[in-house]
């Protein structure tokens, strides 16, 4: 089984998806292989819905001058062309010949099936040294390895309406986190503020400063669009998972699934959005109502009773329909089709400073939050084995793959490798991406159950939590 699993994954990665001839076996992986986000359909007036997690800008965004991928992929010119091939959708991973990612992290990506011009996902993986800002006495510190901190960093950035914001975040966000963590060197435990809460605050502040930098530089540097951001920081025995958007992270530990993030969408943040619309009605521009109805109200229904809910309600009640209720709802649609102002399907992230309601000058940014939710996992509280992993994925993975399916793939792939084989985590990342992409058939990319595979960009990190030398 071990050799069959390895050869099947290797063939799928190198061939771009054509399944090899093989004997029937329940142990073989089901065509899993890895790689971006495109502009949605233009809404009508009032605007119609845009693509999932994507935004419809008022004006067409200029094409970027160049197409870039994460530097750790070490792509040759030919590899860069394959990474941008919508038809082939080849899996891309760091080469075995290069320097391994920290903790033998696995990574794989695949481009979308034509959803956008380029791959708008970006990724970053770094080991970052933080030099202390000042000593406890207030005197400046001399630069010294012994006086600072070192943190490990992984980031996935799912761009929409252009790749500029994702590229900028991948390049700079960890530097903002480093700057904010400098203050930890002069922290004392005499107050009730914990070290953990300071790290969480530093990450939250870094997201805000990153968003502000995008706002300042969006014109001169063509920082178009926005991006969801999913970041992991390992520092002093704890893993901090910060999420702003609809990417997700889970830990698979001894077969158990531990969610480390949640999606931020118009559905999950409906009450926050409605409260802001209620408190600041000028943000709605007379075009939208903060109330939600089961369906769009028609003029002939004026004076009738209709189910509704507002910012204070989780259930539904009846109200008499008034003229202002005929406005387009602030939050419309359900599930992956839910939109803010009928334009964007995510409610947290970086960028989107130029985003406006289609055919309108009404800005959407006031309803979008740059602050992440940060969850903490203490690695020292559990003895981890080499099969315990933290899986990060953009929504291209989670749109078609459940947590249980990811956990099953973790078990199947890792059991085919020796525990001390560092290539096992890259193979797992590739298998997860292949499984979400599917294989090419007459009617598009299909999963083994013949359902459509993900047409979005797919990017996956697999971070091992146990095993020799994985952390200290």
Question: Which range among 104-108, 263-267, 357-361 shows the weakest confidence by mean pLDDT?
Answer: 357-361
> pLDDT at position 192, please?
80
Residue 207's nearest CA partner among 283, 251, 155 is 155
For residue range 171-230, what is the model confidence (pLDDT) as tens digits? 999 999 999 999 876 666 556 888 999 999 999 999 999 999 999 987 766 677 999 999
Inter-axis angle of helices 403-414 and 424-437, nearest 10:
140
Answer for the pair 245, 227: CB distance below 8 angstroms, yes or no. Answer: yes
Asked if pLDDT for residue 36 goes beyond 60, the answer is no
263 three-class SS: coil
For residue range 227-246, what is the model confidence (pLDDT) as tens digits? 999 999 999 999 999 999 99
- Tell me how far apart the alpha carbons of residues 162 and 225 are, in angstroms, rounded to a whole number: 5
Residue 410's nearest CA partner among 397, 137, 195, 452 is 397
State which H helix or E strand residue 328 sits in: strand 328-329
Strand blocks (E) in 363-443: 373-378, 389-393, 439-441
> pLDDT at position 44, please?
34
HSE (side-chain half, CA atoms, 13 Å) at 150: 8
State which H helix or E strand residue 6 sits in: helix 2-15
Place of tokens 């996956």: 460
Q: Confidence class of residue 369 from pLDDT cuts 50, 70 and 90?
A: very high
- Tell me how far apart the alpha carbons of residues 35 and 112 are, in angstroms, rounded to a whole number: 6
Q: Confidence class of residue 61 from pLDDT cuts 50, 70 and 90?
A: very low
- Tell me how far apart the alpha carbons of residues 273 and 150 are, in angstroms, rounded to a whole number: 38
Higher pLDDT, 34 or 426: 426
pTM of the predicted model as reported, rounded to 2 decimal places: 0.83
Q: Six-digit token pair at 217?
A: 């530089």
Question: What mean pLDDT comes out for the span 75-89?
Answer: 90
Answer for the pair 347, 369: CB distance below 8 angstroms, yes or no. Answer: yes
């Amino acid at each position: 089984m071990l050799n069959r699993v390895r050869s099947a994954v290797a063939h799928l990665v190198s061939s771009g998806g054509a399944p090899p001839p093989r004997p029937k076996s329940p142990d073989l992986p089901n065509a899993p292989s890895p790689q971006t986000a495109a502009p949605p359909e233009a809404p009508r007036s009032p605007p119609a819905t845009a693509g999932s997690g994507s935004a419809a800008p008022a004006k067409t965004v200029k094409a970027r001058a160049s197409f870039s991928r994460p530097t750790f992929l070490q792509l040759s010119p030919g590899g860069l062309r394959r990474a941008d091939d919508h038809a082939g959708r080849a899996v891309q991973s760091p080469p075995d010949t290069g320097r391994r990612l920290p903790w033998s992290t696995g990574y794989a990506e695949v481009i979308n099936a034509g959803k956008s011009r380029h791959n708008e996902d970006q990724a970053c993986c770094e080991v970052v040294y933080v030099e202390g800002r000042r000593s406890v006495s207030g005197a400046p510190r001399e630069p010294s390895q012994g006086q600072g901190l070192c943190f490990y960093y992984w980031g996935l950035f799912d761009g929409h309406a252009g790749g500029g914001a994702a590229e900028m975040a991948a390049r700079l966000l960890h530097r903002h986190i480093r700057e904010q963590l400098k203050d930890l060197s002069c922290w004392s435990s005499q107050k009730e503020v914990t070290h953990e809460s300071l790290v969480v605050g530093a990450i939250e502040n870094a997201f805000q400063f990153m968003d502000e930098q995008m706002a300042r530089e969006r014109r001169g540097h063509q920082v178009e669009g926005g991006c969801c951001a999913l970041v992991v920081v390992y520092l002093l025995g704890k893993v901090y998972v910060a999420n702003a958007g609809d990417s997700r992270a889970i830990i698979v530990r001894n077969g158990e699934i531990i969610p480390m993030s949640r999606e931020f969408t118009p559905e999950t943040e409906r009450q926050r959005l409605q409260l802001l619309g209620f408190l600041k009605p000028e943000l709605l521009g007379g075009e939208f109502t903060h109330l939600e109805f089961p369906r769009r109200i028609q003029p002939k229904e004026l004076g009738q009773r209709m189910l509704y809910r507002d910012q204070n309600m989780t259930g539904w009640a009846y109200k008499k329909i008034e003229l202002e209720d005929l406005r387009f709802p602030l939050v419309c649609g359900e599930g992956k089709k839910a939109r803010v102002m009928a334009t964007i399907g995510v409610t947290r992230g970086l960028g989107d400073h130029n985003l406006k309601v289609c055919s309108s000058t009404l800005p959407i940014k006031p309803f979008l939050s740059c602050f992440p939710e940060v969850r903490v996992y203490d690695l020292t509280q559990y003895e981890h084995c080499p099969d315990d992993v933290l899986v990060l994925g953009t929504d291209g993975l989670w749109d078609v793959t459940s947590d249980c399916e990811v956990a099953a793939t973790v078990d199947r792939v890792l059991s085919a490798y020796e525990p001390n084989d560092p290539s096992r985590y890259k193979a797992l990342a590739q298998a997860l991406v292949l499984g979400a992409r599917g294989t090419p058939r007459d009617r598009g990319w299909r999963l083994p159950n013949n359902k459509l595979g993900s047409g979005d960009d797919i990017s996956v990190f697999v971070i091992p939590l146990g095993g020799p030398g994985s952390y200290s």
